[in-house]
Structure 1
Amino acid sequence: MGQTAAADIATISRISAVPAVLQVIGELTGLRFAAVARVIDNTWIACAVLDRLDYGVQVGDELQLVSTLSDEIRRGQQSVVIDKVSEDPLSRDHPFESYIAVPILRTDGRFFGTLCALDPDPAPLKSSTIRSTMESFARMLSLQIETEENLQRTEAASIKERKTTELREQFIAVLGHDLRNPLFAISAGAEMLLRKVKDPANEQRARHILTSARRATKLVDDVLDFARGSLGRGIPVNIEPCPDLGDVLRHVIAEIQSIHPKRIIQSSIGDLSDIHCDRERVAQLLSNLLANAVVHGDPDGAVEVSAQVKNGHFVLSVKNQGLIAEDALPHLFQPYSRPTGGTPQAGLGLGLYIASQIAQSHGGKLEVESTEPQGTTFTFSLPPRT
């Protein structure tokens, strides 16, 4: 692998949103292999990989699987979408059935590589929503590649800061608009189908579409919150009186309980009528902490939720009977970090990071304590308004 390829791989590795992009593509399309590939001459090199098929492709490997199809993209600089490869006369010799790839073009129009996904099973990929979402991701990556390369070349701090700020705003704009809107359209269409369909089979399909769209929307929302936090803007909050905060928290607990009916969740919610906060963000914080406790805690132990006012401070805690390794504690609130133990969890590993950012945006703090035999307790504390 030459120096140019190594530099491009390093550039992609510095774009912290790439793992989340590949995760969302997998959720949206149902395809189990996704990658960002760099093309140099006639060689396609993996720069980032999500491999749920155990193909064994590593970062730096040549993507032999898709070289022929990718050549078509490079020549035409247009997307390639194939629902069923075995029925395509030009591509049927490939060892997979469904394939989608969009070109990643540099901001000056030069071809960088492809954003692609594939699977050995056929999949319906030819909707305009899937294509437009993939192309939005490719534009976002193009902007981020430009940002990273500029940061490496630019020595003047003022120039670097100005260009970085501009591209950060575009990055967040793409996430907030170009990606959420197609997912909203999918959800709305699925809800309409549910109201109209009569037979159980089609109803089940519509529910599956709706569930997948909502899961993908949640992933995009998490990435958007991550971008705001990590790019320096912070997660926005709307602080206001929340006399109904207790009911909001009880609703979150009931929602998590309905998803995990076999788990024991005990709660103690005090009088919170005088609290000022962003109720939606505090509910999101509790949801993230509670889901984390249910998934990673002792499945036979109870999860305890407490929300009280103590010495003027609002204190929200979630406790579970599980232990976090001591060496993992300093990294828990970093992006893509997951507690050890428990059942493997779908998602991006951003829940605790986002919870900590919500706490900071409120002027509060989120702390964790994990000891034996007490277990693990996450505590959000919010000082009184001054």
Structure 2
Amino acid sequence: MTAEVTKPRPEREETDECLRRERDATDRALAERRALIEAKSDAAVTRARERADAALSAARENADQRSQESRLPGQASETVAEERSLEDVLVRGERALADESLRRERAAHARILSKLLPLERDKTDRHLLTERVRSDDAISHRDDFLGIVSHDLRNLLSGIVLSVDLLSQDTPAQDEESEAAMAAKRIRRYAARMSRLIDDLVDVASIESGKLATNVGRGDASALLADAVDMFQPMASDRGITLELDVADRPLPVDFDEERVLQVVSNLLMNSIKFTSPGGRIRVRGERAEGELLVSVSDTGPGIPVDMLELVFERFWQVGKKDRRGLGLGLYICKSIVEAHGGRIWVESRMGEGSTFYFTIPGRSGSSDQPVAEV
């Protein structure tokens, strides 16, 4: 079954979610700040009123004392009480006016903010939409360009390899170690490497557009791992590296895209061979674990720093910055292929002891006579 598998978390969805979170956080911060300012303002008004009341009370006491001393015979205290009652009414009226003025000022500020904020966000959204259209257009042109270039480069590489093969046919068997024969081998090796780089770039373009095609069917994982080890055994031997396979003798039937999973294992093996010194050891292991296929590729290389364990799966990222024998896309492609199958991939490493890359392929795995599941 052929399917186009969309990335589980497209970058655009992550960007939108981050934007929503930032806006929610901004709204909360704005509300908290407004509440804090209003609380401080209310506290300041309360303190001012308390000071005013204290001053008024002290002034009244002084006035009462002076009135007692200067009161004329027969002057009634009711007159003073009436005057104070009138003063209290005036004070309450002034306070009510001040409270209403403060409420209106706050309401006006809230209305201004409620009008300005949507305008700013609408402007931001329009700008974001414009940038997205430009981005989509650029991605479309990039994909078209990669498609044309990859097709033309593959044709050129095929012509180069075919020409080398024709020249090699004219080389006598006893001259296989001659300079011309060795040059032909180098050309084939370089052409194969260029072909892998082209494939990586095309795969990355497919991944970024959410169109990583997979052909899922029932396959034997143990046979696939054996094929991968056999494929890289000569390369490992040439470098003085021991390459081992540790997998159950019985079949490991799993629903997956054999070519894509073989690509994952090949990338992991190539990565391990690249960083393992002569005399080192690489082990490929396959097993069932909690209903999933669990594959691991371990090596005795230099290891990966703890702070880089997550970064190794990023695009164009390389542990050894001085080693530029690739584009830094292999592990990123591995991660995307595994996630397209619904699995996960991770690495464990200790400096000076080596690294182990793990990945899982979930789904039913059992006897080979079971029907193929659709994913």
Give TM class, smaller chain.
0.5 to 0.7
| RMSD of aligned alpha carbons | 2.7
Classify 1:371/1:202 alpha carbon distance in 2 versus 1 (closer, same or farther; 3 Å): closer
Q: Deviations over 1:202-253 (max 9, x none)?
A: 3333223222222211111122112222x3234322111113x322321221
Q: Give yes or no for the alignment of 1:237 onto 2:214.
A: yes
Classify 1:234/1:361 alpha carbon distance in 2 versus 1 (closer, same or farther; 3 Å): farther
Counterpart in the other structure of 1:186? 160
Counterpart in the other structure of 1:210? 188
1:236 aligned counterpart, secondary structure: strand
Counterpart in the other structure of 1:302? 281
TM superposition shift of 1:201:
3.8
Counterpart in the other structure of 2:228? 252
Counterpart in the other structure of 1:227? 205
8 A Cα contact 1:331 1:337, kept in partner: yes
1:249 aligned counterpart, secondary structure: helix
Mapped partners of 2:187, 2:278: distance in 1: 30
Q: Give yes or no for the alignment of 1:172 onto 2:146.
A: yes
Q: What does 1:59-138 correspond to in 2, within 5 Å?
A: none
Classify 1:251/1:155 alpha carbon distance in 2 versus 1 (closer, same or farther; 3 Å): closer
Classify 1:273/1:208 alpha carbon distance in 2 versus 1 (closer, same or farther; 3 Å): same
In structure 2, list runs of 5 or more residues that go unmatched.
1-126, 365-372
Counterpart in the other structure of 2:95? none
Q: Give yes or no for the alignment of 1:356 onto 2:335.
A: yes
2:226 aligned counterpart, secondary structure: helix
Mapped partners of 2:139, 2:204: distance in 1: 16
8 A Cα contact 1:175 1:224, kept in partner: no
Classify 1:156/1:336 alpha carbon distance in 2 versus 1 (closer, same or farther; 3 Å): closer
TM superposition shift of 1:165:
4.8
2:241 aligned counterpart, secondary structure: coil
TM superposition shift of 1:154:
8.8
8 A Cα contact 2:241 2:276, kept in partner: no
8 A Cα contact 1:172 1:228, kept in partner: no
The alignment's TM-score, normalised by the length of structure 1, stands at 0.54
TM superposition shift of 1:280:
1.4
- How many matched pairs? 231
Mapped partners of 1:238, 1:175: distance in 2: 25
The AA in structure 2 aligned to 1:166 is S
Q: Give yes or no for the alignment of 1:264 onto 2:238.
A: no
Classify 1:225/1:319 alpha carbon distance in 2 versus 1 (closer, same or farther; 3 Å): same
Classify 1:206/1:368 alpha carbon distance in 2 versus 1 (closer, same or farther; 3 Å): same
The AA in structure 2 aligned to 1:368 is V
1:332 aligned counterpart, secondary structure: helix
Mapped partners of 1:335, 1:169: distance in 2: 17
1:242 aligned counterpart, secondary structure: strand
Classify 1:172/1:299 alpha carbon distance in 2 versus 1 (closer, same or farther; 3 Å): same
Classify 1:293/1:206 alpha carbon distance in 2 versus 1 (closer, same or farther; 3 Å): closer
Counterpart in the other structure of 2:316? 336
The AA in structure 2 aligned to 1:219 is L
1:275 aligned counterpart, secondary structure: strand
In structure 1, list runs of 5 or more residues that go unmatched.
1-152
Would you tell me which structure has more helix in proportion to its own residues? Answer: 2
Classify 1:345/1:266 alpha carbon distance in 2 versus 1 (closer, same or farther; 3 Å): farther
8 A Cα contact 1:324 1:340, kept in partner: no
Mapped partners of 2:292, 2:128: distance in 1: 46
8 A Cα contact 2:223 2:251, kept in partner: no
Mapped partners of 2:325, 2:347: distance in 1: 22
Counterpart in the other structure of 1:291? 270
Mapped partners of 1:373, 1:160: distance in 2: 46
Classify 1:381/1:167 alpha carbon distance in 2 versus 1 (closer, same or farther; 3 Å): same
The AA in structure 2 aligned to 1:259 is M
TM superposition shift of 1:381:
0.5
Q: Deviations over 1:44-66 (max 9, x none)?
A: xxxxxxxxxxxxxxxxxxxxxxx
Mapped partners of 2:132, 2:265: distance in 1: 40
Classify 1:306/1:201 alpha carbon distance in 2 versus 1 (closer, same or farther; 3 Å): same
Identity %: 28
Q: Give yes or no for the alignment of 1:315 onto 2:294.
A: yes
